[in-house]
Structure 1
Amino acid sequence: LTLTIIVLLYSLSSYIALMKNLHDRQQVRNQNYARELAALLRSTAADLQQVAEMVPFLGGVESALHNRQMPHINQVLERYWTLMQIQNGIELLRIHDRRNDLVAIKSAVGVRFPDDGVMKKWISDVNASEKPISPVICHDTCMQFVIAPLLIRGEKVGVIALGISLADVLLRFKQLTGDDIGLLVDKSDKGMRLPGWQSHVSGLTNKQESFAILQQASLTYPQLSTISEGIQIHFHERIMYIKLFPLPAMMGTNNANFIVMTDVTRSVSNIHDSIRQIVMVGIAGLLASGLVMWMMFTQLLSRLKDMAYLLPMLSKRNFREFRSALDAYSKAGRFHDEVDKLYEAASTLSVQLENLEKKAQSRARKLSEQKKVLRRERDFVSHLLNTAQVIVLTQNQRGKILSLNRFGRELLQYEADEIISAPFVCFLSDGETDPELNKHLKAMREGHLTQYRHESLTLCKDGSTRNIAWLHSKLDCSEEDEPAILSVGLDVTEYKRVETHLAWLADHDPLTNLFNRRRFSEELQHMIER
């Protein structure tokens, strides 16, 4: 099982590593494609810039522009327009004067500029800055423009705008990489429609097959944003990797995207073949190792089975019989292996278990004796608490009563459930108002004081009071609800009453209830001294 798990884990880790390697290569290829597309756009812009610089030098154009013979410019450009379309792929040419007014325009059949306001702004910006720009605009299709100042003999006479379709960029990309590429345009009514992505394909290499691939991808992944990360789909027993590349921001609008389709069937197939070989080698290794292990462990397992038959004797405490049986199964002069060491360990274990059994029996007897002693002590303490003529109670960390002996319940006339969990100070006549008492009790609960004595009038259930002399002692506790204070109360009510009566008899005549001679003399002497 362990070897099987190892083979499976190795196969899985190899598959993950190979797929990660494929993904990394795809990421590197994507970066190269992004740079390639940006370079193609820059190259197209540079070509248009060269054409823009060449236009003033065409025969008749220079003189017409220099002499401002604007009506003749269209006629002059007509002679070169077909050549510019065929050789340079120019689809739109516009010339504006220094006041941004249109003086000449040439366009291929069916080509129009969708937003004249945008063009006027570009013309105005170039006229003002005298610096060329190369924007890209997308509507039904995408066109790249170069708008540059028009110079005649070192003097600016206007602005020229040249536009070219991005179809040439798609074709050049296909030639360079061998992968198919398309151009997706949002909010367009022309081109091949992809409803799932709400886009139209305005340009595509290998049109028929590539469009079928995009249709399947749009149905499988309806969110266009998913394509930005790159996806894989199965198409006619092939695996296609599809990645979206937005037009570079520096080129202008962002409502169009390049989409590149790469056939990764061979790479994925190679990965599957490698994993298949790893699994087959692993299975062969498993079979071979299983056979070797079976040959090695057959005899060892037989001896282990003998050991398994003997082990129950330990649970029955037949230690000596167990050791005798082990000696019978062991063979003298035999090469010692792990099973022999197991036999020796089992014999040693039986001796230790026998000794432990004897110790356990001895300790069990001692424990039984200690249990009897503790039971007698517990009964003695319980009897002492219930027969002692003093109040014995315990309090927790919050000053609540946890237990009260029988004498306390009888003296205070409370049942156990009436007094348990009640605050101790509630049963003292001045318990809640005496700051000195509360301060000392708090100090005991916090561990700052170990003992405290005081006398208090204690309230009984019938409304009467008893004069109790209390002694509080701090107990060790770790939990909040464990006993923290042991309180012992002695009823001194009768003692106080007798003490008061004796003091009265010392100062009064019992027959007349008046001061006696001694007290009279003390009072007279006190008045004379004043």
Structure 2
Amino acid sequence: MQKNKHFLSLKWKFAFGLGGLLITLYSAYAYYIYYQAVDNFSNSRVTAQTNQINIAQALTEESFFVLDRFVESILLIQSDETKTGAQLQQLFDEHWQHWQVIWGLENAAFYNRQSIEVKRWGKDIPSDSEIILRAFTQEVPQHQLICAKGCFQQILTPVLFNSEVLGVLSVSVALSDTLLQYQQTMRNDLGVLISDNSQALSAITHAKKNIPLWQKARENYVLEDFLGKGVVFIKDRRRYELRVFPISKNSSSAPYFVIINDITEDYKNLQNKLLQLGIIGLVGLFLVIFILLINIHFILARVAQLSQALPLLVQHQYQSFRKKLKSQSSTIFNDEVSQLAETAAYVAKDLEILSDDIEKNTELLVKKSQELEEERDFVAQLIDTAPIFIITQNMQGDILTVNKEGLMDMKLKAAEIIGMPFAKLISDKDHLQKLEHLRLNKESKEITFDDRLALLTEEPMYLSWIHTILRAKNNSQEPVVLSLGVDVSERHVADEQLIWLASHDQLTGLGNRRNFQHELEARLALAKRYKEQLALFYLDLDQFKVINDTHGHQAGDELLQVIASVLKKEIRDTDLLCRIGGDEFTLVISATTLEGVEILANKLLYALTQIKYIINEQIHPISFSIGVAIYPQHGETQQELLTNADLAMYHAKKSGRARYHIFSPEFEYQAVLTEQLRWKHIIEHAIKQDEFVLYYQPILDIKHKKISHYECLLRIVQQDGTLLMPGDFIIQAEQIGIIDQIDHLVLRKAIEQHLAFQAIGNNSRLAINLSGRSMNDMDILPYIENLLSQSGVKPELIIFEITETSAVSNFMSAKSMIKRLKALGCRFALDDFGVGFSSFYYLKSLPVDYVKIDGSFVKQMDVSEEDRIFVKVLTEVSQAFGKQIIAEFVENKEILSLLEQQGVDYAQGYYISKPISDPLDLSHVKGLE
């Protein structure tokens, strides 16, 4: 008996197995019963609704039928010779009150051929002139439902004389009589909805209770939800069913009947029935399992008694074993356990006989074994001490012997390997095939082969094997195969290392360019063979050179290792990821689609944004520019795909980084590159020739009617005197990577103007714009600090502006920069607020002094109420956080007046002043005292 295994009685195994089966069957049956009950309930409700609809429509048609019969009887009272409109009126005058009581009439009217009411009896109930005209033209009675100060059924009957229509007789009865008759018959409520657009019911039984129900239902559903099926909803812990259907059987439009059923009790009965079925089923299930356990217990008790006796056979206590078997309680009928006990008794008897024979033979064997022991020990010592594997196997390939060195290296016991097929030690199929040929005399008498030992997985061992067949001299014994193995692992590892180094990047462990080219060629062949698509991703790390140059190659190498690890987690094992250059990676995915390419590209971009790469306590955002080319649409050769993927990557990078672009044959990449080079030449020439100048736009202090400060705005003065605005060249500068030079140039020129102000005693503040890229420029802060440390510079007169979008996109970097510069005395403004993320959390968290409301909300304040409200809200919230407000794009006096009324602190725009080259020339500035 194996002591190391946990014991679980057959009783419990049987109980768990059968119990699980019974529970599964019960669950399936319970689900079926539940489904049937719910389905029957739903069908009963559908049947009930259909019955209610039929009765309601039948009662309505019956009411119209009675009116038809009444009118026909009235018209038949008069003879054909005396039938005139006047006589019909006289007849109604005489009998109206009697008919009103007997027939329940609410209104009667007679119309002449001009559809003019000649006389009316009873209530004033209007008739549709179109319906009257239809009665004249079609000469058949017309039915209609009218709801005005009550709902009525109306019939308009043409009065004929000598095949000529004298007039139309209208007779009406109250629809409430039909509703009450329905309610008394069906014991549920019926209402009327006169049109599709009507929200309120025109009439309904028990209105006090049912009108609120209808209103609640209309809050959650549209009319189409009630047409054709019942809608169930709950109000005041009661469940109601509501159904809407046309009053006429032959119509699918308004007017409608509305049926409201209280199905609370029916639903409770359904739940109680299901609960009762569930309880009864569970009790029965557990009772069956309990009875089965009792029966199994008594059966297994006898088996347990037999198992306790069996160890006596191992101890050769055969007499005690027979006594144990006899002590078992007898049963009325023999069963399998009885047969097992009888078999055990026969086995005990045979074992006792064999034991005696073995004891006699053992004495003889001991003598002979002593003679062979010395010889065996000598050979065994020789074999065991040899530092090689020595294994013998029979001609079927089963291991017969193995020396101690082999057992130690394989970390196995002799009992575990003796009898094992030698093939389990072999990894290479060619090795196994040669060995089989040797056994079948198809090979020479000796073969050699280098192979990995298959049994070892943690520390692989490589052996150089020599196999030879040993035959007895007199052929009295079966030949055996002698296998000698020498450990050559160190040599193999060295060879493998050289192969790996030739095809992999040592820094990241990814494949190198050589491996990429080889694998891509193979995958292209497979894609062509199976007519599949293949996608090549060309990934270029954004701003890697900045990190390398600023923090050293070690930081760059660590970043590349982190990125490689992240990328490997995002792709499949079958995808090919390689590093083919310093910051360039390639990814090849097979059997893909355009949708799959887009999903993977977005997944890779997102994964990189989650990398928190920190250097000197500052987080550096990590991103890739990705270009994608797809086989065969974008190229059928390796060179074509790589070239097109590179073009697509370059387009993605110039579009703003952290983007991907899929190659398109229709896109004019060369034209874009040419335009990019043209702007690069213009900007670099402007920097070299000092063609960048600053213009200054005054910002008005609205309350004190004076200039608060100036915003520095950059221009390029070309050789012909024309000006290039920032909108023309800033985006281009960001794309070609020289925006940092422009940032430094603007800062230097602004500080020069500040020093010029100080020289004449002018303490006007200057607002300097910082680009979004400056948030991640490692050199910008030291450069600013160096400028501010110059003699004569007053940092408290310098305001830096950053846009809302760039501040939030680089939140931690922006917050850190703002804190460091404010510590020197500078102020900060949040530009273009309202068009970016517009989160008051960021407004509260960023320590800025000014908030500049984007001009798109200001320039039409005089004509847009929505803009006025938006500006007012931004002003109040910002001021609540202690920020001052600057409104841009102030284009006229009316806007300036509105801003003053709303408490805005500062105004900037063409009405105040256009940007000027001389900040001291205020002759054109408006709004000053």
Of 71, 81, 89, which aligns to 2:104?
89
**Residue of structure 2 equivalent to 1:517:** none
**Which letter does structure 2 place at the counterpart of 1:106?**
R
Kindly report which structure 2 residues correspond to 1:481-496, keeping only aligned pairs within 5 A, or say none: none
**Residue of structure 1 equivalent to 2:255:** 256
**Residue of structure 1 equivalent to 2:116:** 102
**Residue of structure 1 equivalent to 2:233:** 233
Aligned-pair CA distance for 1:260: 1.5
**Which letter does structure 2 place at the counterpart of 1:200?**
A
What are structure 2's unaligned runs of at least 5 residues?
1-19, 345-392, 400-420, 423-431, 449-517, 526-929
Contact 1:137 1:253 survives alignment (8 Å): no
Rounded to whole Å, the distance in 1 between the matches of 2:173 and 2:203 is 13
**1:17 and 2:36 equivalent?**
yes
**Residue of structure 1 equivalent to 2:135:** 122
- In structure 2, the CA distance between the partners of 1:111 and 1:361, relative to structure 1 (3 Å rule), is farther
Rounded to whole Å, the distance in 2 between the matches of 1:213 and 1:342 is 76
Contact 2:143 2:153 survives alignment (8 Å): yes
**Residue of structure 2 equivalent to 1:414:** none
Contact 1:146 1:161 survives alignment (8 Å): yes
Secondary structure, counterpart of 2:156 in structure 1: strand
Kindly report which structure 2 residues correspond to 1:504-523, keeping only aligned pairs within 5 A, or say none: none
Cα deviation digits, residues 469-511 of structure 1 (max 9, x gap): xxxxxxxxxxxxxxxxxxxxxxxxxxxxxxxxxxxxxxxxxxx
**1:146 and 2:155 equivalent?**
yes
- In structure 2, the CA distance between the partners of 1:117 and 1:372, relative to structure 1 (3 Å rule), is same
- In structure 2, the CA distance between the partners of 1:361 and 1:121, relative to structure 1 (3 Å rule), is farther
- In structure 2, the CA distance between the partners of 1:67 and 1:201, relative to structure 1 (3 Å rule), is closer
| The structure with more helix, counted as a fraction of residues | 1
Contact 1:243 1:260 survives alignment (8 Å): yes
Rounded to whole Å, the distance in 2 between the matches of 1:361 and 1:286 is 59
Rounded to whole Å, the distance in 1 between the matches of 2:203 and 2:342 is 84
**Residue of structure 1 equivalent to 2:213:** 213
- In structure 2, the CA distance between the partners of 1:373 and 1:50, relative to structure 1 (3 Å rule), is closer
Contact 2:245 2:256 survives alignment (8 Å): yes
**1:179 and 2:188 equivalent?**
yes
Contact 1:96 1:123 survives alignment (8 Å): no
Kindly report which structure 2 residues correspond to 1:266-345, keeping only aligned pairs within 5 A, or say none: 266-300=265-299, 331=325, 337=335
**1:372 and 2:435 equivalent?**
yes
**Which letter does structure 2 place at the counterpart of 1:38?**
Q
**Residue of structure 1 equivalent to 2:125:** 111
Rounded to whole Å, the distance in 2 between the matches of 1:139 and 1:47 is 22
Rounded to whole Å, the distance in 2 between the matches of 1:234 and 1:306 is 65
Rounded to whole Å, the distance in 2 between the matches of 1:68 and 1:186 is 35
Kindly report which structure 2 residues correspond to 1:419-434, keeping only aligned pairs within 5 A, or say none: none
Aligned-pair CA distance for 1:160: 2.2
Kindly report which structure 2 residues correspond to 1:323-472, keeping only aligned pairs within 5 A, or say none: 331=325, 337=335, 363-365=396-398, 371-374=434-437
Aligned-pair CA distance for 1:206: 1.4
Cα deviation digits, residues 238-275 of structure 1 (max 9, x gap): 4333222222253x682221121223333333322322
- In structure 2, the CA distance between the partners of 1:328 and 1:170, relative to structure 1 (3 Å rule), is farther
Secondary structure, counterpart of 1:200 in structure 2: coil
**Which letter does structure 2 place at the counterpart of 1:16?**
Y
- In structure 2, the CA distance between the partners of 1:93 and 1:293, relative to structure 1 (3 Å rule), is same
- In structure 2, the CA distance between the partners of 1:142 and 1:341, relative to structure 1 (3 Å rule), is farther
**Which letter does structure 2 place at the counterpart of 1:104?**
V
Cα deviation digits, residues 401-447 of structure 1 (max 9, x gap): xxxxxxxxxxxxxxxx9xx99x9xxxxxxxxxxxxxxxxxxxxxxxx
**Which letter does structure 1 place at the counterpart of 2:282?**
I
Rounded to whole Å, the distance in 1 between the matches of 2:226 and 2:395 is 77
Contact 1:142 1:165 survives alignment (8 Å): yes
Rounded to whole Å, the distance in 2 between the matches of 1:372 and 1:301 is 52
**Which letter does structure 2 place at the counterpart of 1:176?**
T
**Which letter does structure 1 place at the counterpart of 2:21?**
T
Of 69, 92, 100, which aligns to 1:77?
92
- In structure 2, the CA distance between the partners of 1:9 and 1:308, relative to structure 1 (3 Å rule), is farther
Cα deviation digits, residues 368-394 of structure 1 (max 9, x gap): 5975243796899x99xxxxxxxxxxx
- In structure 2, the CA distance between the partners of 1:301 and 1:67, relative to structure 1 (3 Å rule), is closer
Rounded to whole Å, the distance in 2 between the matches of 1:77 and 1:223 is 42
Contact 2:145 2:152 survives alignment (8 Å): yes
Contact 1:56 1:151 survives alignment (8 Å): no
Aligned-pair CA distance for 1:44: 1.0
Contact 1:181 1:259 survives alignment (8 Å): yes
**Which letter does structure 1 place at the counterpart of 2:154?**
F
Rounded to whole Å, the distance in 1 between the matches of 2:92 and 2:125 is 17
The two structures have a TM-score, normalised by structure 2, of 0.31
Greater RCO (CA < 8 Å, at least 6 residues apart): 1
Moved more, 43-52 or 164-173: 164-173
Contact 1:138 1:253 survives alignment (8 Å): no
Aligned-pair CA distance for 1:173: 0.9
**Residue of structure 1 equivalent to 2:841:** none
Equivalent pairs, count: 346
Rounded to whole Å, the distance in 1 between the matches of 2:343 and 2:141 is 93
Contact 1:185 1:199 survives alignment (8 Å): no
Rounded to whole Å, the distance in 2 between the matches of 1:279 and 1:257 is 42
Contact 1:15 1:271 survives alignment (8 Å): no
- In structure 2, the CA distance between the partners of 1:6 and 1:365, relative to structure 1 (3 Å rule), is closer
- In structure 2, the CA distance between the partners of 1:220 and 1:6, relative to structure 1 (3 Å rule), is farther
- In structure 2, the CA distance between the partners of 1:2 and 1:141, relative to structure 1 (3 Å rule), is farther
Moved more, 159-168 or 39-48: 159-168
**Residue of structure 1 equivalent to 2:582:** none
**1:244 and 2:212 equivalent?**
no
Moved more, 335-344 or 271-280: 335-344
Rounded to whole Å, the distance in 1 between the matches of 2:74 and 2:53 is 32
Rounded to whole Å, the distance in 2 between the matches of 1:10 and 1:202 is 49
Contact 1:64 1:73 survives alignment (8 Å): no
Cα deviation digits, residues 331-363 of structure 1 (max 9, x gap): 4787665667899999xxxxxxxxxxxxx9874
Secondary structure, counterpart of 2:125 in structure 1: coil
- In structure 2, the CA distance between the partners of 1:103 and 1:301, relative to structure 1 (3 Å rule), is same
Secondary structure, counterpart of 2:194 in structure 1: strand
**Which letter does structure 1 place at the counterpart of 2:56?**
L
- In structure 2, the CA distance between the partners of 1:68 and 1:244, relative to structure 1 (3 Å rule), is closer
**Which letter does structure 2 place at the counterpart of 1:179?**
N
Secondary structure, counterpart of 1:186 in structure 2: coil
- In structure 2, the CA distance between the partners of 1:341 and 1:40, relative to structure 1 (3 Å rule), is farther
Q: CA RMSD in A?
A: 5.0
Of 21, 36, 45, which aligns to 2:64?
45
- In structure 2, the CA distance between the partners of 1:150 and 1:237, relative to structure 1 (3 Å rule), is same
Rounded to whole Å, the distance in 1 between the matches of 2:199 and 2:81 is 45
Rounded to whole Å, the distance in 2 between the matches of 1:143 and 1:62 is 31
Aligned-pair CA distance for 1:10: 3.0
Rounded to whole Å, the distance in 1 between the matches of 2:276 and 2:195 is 47
